[in-house]
Amino acid sequence: MTRPPNVLFIMADQMAASALPFYGHPLVKTPNLSALAAQGVVFESAYCAYPLCAPARFSLLSGRLPSRIGAFDNAAEFPSATPTFVHHFRAAGYRTALAGKMHFVGADGLHGFEERLTTDIYPADFGWTPDWGHQVLTYDWSHHMASVVEAGPCHRSLQIDFDEETAHQAVQKIYDYGRRADEAPFFLTVSFTHPHDPFNCLPEHWDLYDHNAIDLPAVPALAPSALDPHSRRLYYMDSQHRYHMTDERTRTARHAYYGMISYVDDLVGRLLTALRRAGLAQDTIIVFAGDHGEMLGERGLWYKMSFFEGSARIPLLFHCPRKWRPRRVPGNVSHVDLFPTFLDLIGDTAGPPVDPPDGHSLVPLIEGRDTHADDTIFCEYLGEGVLKPALMVRSGRHKYVICGDDPAQLYDLVADPSERVNRAGLPDFTDIERGLARRIARQWDVADLERQVIASQNRRLFIHRSLLSGRHAAWDYQPSRDAATSYVRNVGIAEDTLKAQARLPPVPTVPPDFPD
């Protein structure tokens, strides 16, 4: 590459790593993503920093744990003064654009992006703020099991509308970049809302799968009384007690989820086709990641908001065959590692980070020159469904979880990948548990964190109530477009010149055979 590489960063919402074929799923069909994985670097044990949409994304962008930037839940503001890796790309001379979902909360809808090609699918206000101060555990705006029991194929949905717009705008932007390929490199984020619930997919993606072959959860549903306290809270918060979850309902929801994954793969294919046709495929690093996972009925749980593997583990791959050989990286990595990784990729032209990130660059792992001896990562959950901070550390093969007065959980993910046996309190694991508990105590001041969360919630709950009175001014980002730069007008660029500039690949000007 003669200049810094372009970067196409693709995100999928609520994408469980375990449901993807390049992580071992035998049924799901993703030819485009699987091809990227076969030629790229796949991280086997990547985790979100928070198993919920907005905080996970804010942490990913900033390279810091959500609580360190006040991103306590899905209605916590992403402060404009928080530097993101997008600011660094921009400072390094990149053109930066975002298509699709990023769930920014607050009045700043850009956070370093020069332009957004779409609005967001979710609100930017404080309306989804939990209320720990009043011990509230159920909310009318949280997930509801109707999205599972009503699963199935459909011809259109809110999410399909959104992702079709996202893909279209992103493809157009890629072609625009191709038309100006001699200019600065680009950093384009394309963030799809699929395969987030509700569990609906197009008929053509539903028909890719034999319904009777759809696998049921590996860990059967447990009675509420047999669930750990946090899972039990989620069970009632999500209204699971109001429905009888039969095997058929579970199979249907999983069938639709697999169809949604195949839909995401088709959208990725559109982006890859555009890169090739725009002449940009050889000079573009492709990164694919999820914001968090999806439980898919494992142990009877759905959605996310827990630290079980289905919820907290994410897919993560880097693709650039001209730079890196294909490999699979086994150690634990985190969302917070993406910030220093991107800075490593673009060099020091943008300067060092203002706030030291909580993660480490993955480039040595991508290049195969690091053994990753200490692969400890941290994850937190401070949203609806808990009344105290829920905290997780994963180090090597062990995962340790605490939440207020709930019994601690300790899992050996090598001996017990399905997390069936809680080893906390067992004599043979005393030293391991103590060591992981010390890591959590060093990472968080739990009592102070709880105070911060409640104070933030109280401020936001008051502000949201007050802004519902009088004239409403939305914070949601509304993209604008100047059609005069795209299509023919009687002022500005001449018609023939504009049409020539829009042709891709460009052709040399042909002089008249019979000049005047």
Which sequence positions are flagged as catalytic?
53, 103
For residue 309, which amino acid is it? E
Give one DSSP letter per residue of 228-272, joined into a string: -HHHHHHHHHTTGGGS---HHHHHHHHHHHHHHHHHHHHHHHHHH
Q: How far is CA 300 from CA 224, 243, 246, 254, in A?
A: 9, 12, 11, 13
* 3-state secondary structure (DSSP) of residue 318: strand
Cis peptide before 505 (omega within 30 of 0): yes
- Report the first-to-last Cα separation within the chain, whole angstroms: 44
The candidate with the shortest Cα–Cα distance to 358, out of 68, 53, 50, 83, is 68
- 84 vs 278: CA distance, rounded Å: 28
β-strand partners of 7: 187, 285
Contact 37, 317 (CB under 8 A): yes
Q: What angle do CA 15, 158, 72 make, to 5 degrees?
A: 55
What residue has token string 């994954």?
Answer: 261
- 491 vs 112: CA distance, rounded Å: 32
- φ, ψ (nearest 5 deg) of residue 286: -110, 130
Beta strands 316-319 and 313-314 are unpaired
- 128 vs 140: CA distance, rounded Å: 9
Contact 107, 463 (CB under 8 A): no
